[in-house]
Structure 1
């Protein structure tokens, strides 16, 4: 932990999207990972239904 690997992977994904003309990067993640993605600049913009009642899944944008 703390070696910046996650940030490098996320930045690489974003650069690959941008190289292909994709300007809006949206994804869903587990509620436990929201903080990690928040550290690299993503924001929660909504929720999607989950197969588990009462546990929506965060949708995030970068």
Structure 2
């Protein structure tokens, strides 16, 4: 699945949850990861403070 990063520790991941495709938004602060929420569409990312213009695709090893 795809992963995208935004400034400030925001991570957006394309996932499957209960057989539904969703975007999971999380926020990394001081070494801890906090769930911000799930989105059904890209347009909902704004509700979680994600600016689409700032997203950068993350590689498979970027989360380590």
* Superposed pair shares fold, TM > 0.5: no
TM-score range (shorter-chain normalised) is: under 0.3
Looking at secondary structure, tell me which structure has more helix per residue. 1
TM-score of the aligned structures, taking structure 2 as reference length = 0.24
